[in-house]
Structure 1
Amino acid sequence: MNFLAANIIPKGLTNQQKKRFFNDVKNYFWDDPFLFRRCADQVIRRCVTRSETSKILEHCHSGPTGGHYSGTKTAHKILELGFYWPSLFKDTNRYVTSCDKYQRTCNISKHDQMPQNYMLSCEIFDVWGIDFTGLFPNLFGNKYILVAIDYMSKWMEAQALPTNDARVVVRFLKKLFSRFGTPRAIISDRGTHFCNT
């Protein structure tokens, strides 16, 4: 900073250290009052002071948008925000290992997780749910309503019927199949009007 702001070279450097110093200075530039660095990914990030690092670490690891992630993930989050300091990864790992909440949750293995069941992928009008509602007061000779709902689109078909036997279910399903095609599955309560020869 002193070299970029006032052209002052640090004293007591060997020739090798001076070469390295002038090589590293190419990546830094001073824009009053901040020091910026062009990182290896060609993104310009603001260099922060030691006093600012603790607040940045706290915000990126355990703040509202933090999530108590690992040291590497937290360091990448800091870099994405546009901050840099030379010991970034070392400080981040030290901060994360001292975080109590992270230490309690970081060692979850496959053994601790709930078993995952694969979801059956289905298309529209592939799976229908069917059921009777009723007995309603007699209205135009109809006492029951047969309802079929597509599980994917929530499309509903309903018909008022005089009885709740297997014959009316077959007639209803023939109409349904002719309009929407034969489904992969029909889910019912397995009553005698659905499970019947």
Structure 2
Amino acid sequence: MTSIWSYLKEGTLPEDKDEARKVRMRSAKFVIIGDELFKRGISTPLLKCLTATQAAYVIEEIHRGICGMHSGAAQWRPEHSELDCQDYVQKCRECQQFGNTHRQPPEVLHHMMSAWPFSQWGMDILGPFPPPKGQLKFLLVAIDYFTKWIKACPLAENVQRFTWRSIVCRFGIPHTLITDNGRQFIAQGFEDFLCELGIKHLPTSVEHPQTNGQAEAANKVILHTL
């Protein structure tokens, strides 16, 4: 970026002809505004080019800042800085101490496809937690298979009310709901509620709870965040 800055700011180019030609071609995608370098595109907003110090601060803030969740480098989708992100994550003490360790043997993956946003949800109950005020020890968790949007609330209300208020009233009537065989999910009242709305209920097999793996993955994210 230093060579592009020098060319746009002062008109200077490297002595090597091939390198100078590359700088001229690349500089067409950049612009200087208020002594700051930005990358521009046809249908994208201006992207600020960061110095090494600024980039280090951004990586730290994304990973462990006030809104950070200690996410891995692969989730950031950085451009030309993937190695820097991986290096930072590998040196994070909390990630190395509390990071996920896969202990299950590998097996063939079976995709659970969702045709459009909010058409297929997975639902599960997470807990128990140490009893807080109100003695609510469980969380009711739902996740959309298409957008990965997560909804969670303390289990103070029944599953039917949660489904109506947090899913149907906000995102419309889904096509499919995937749950385990918990008594809250296979209760006759809840089954009648889903049937009345035309929602297809798919309870998982007792011997294969991985069918509701999307909800289990959401539970893992919530636990690590807490």
With normalisation by structure 2, the TM-score equals: 0.41
Work out which of the two has the higher radius of gyration on C-alpha atoms and give 1 or 2: 1
Q: Which structure is higher in strand share?
A: 1
Q: Which structure is higher in helix share?
A: 2
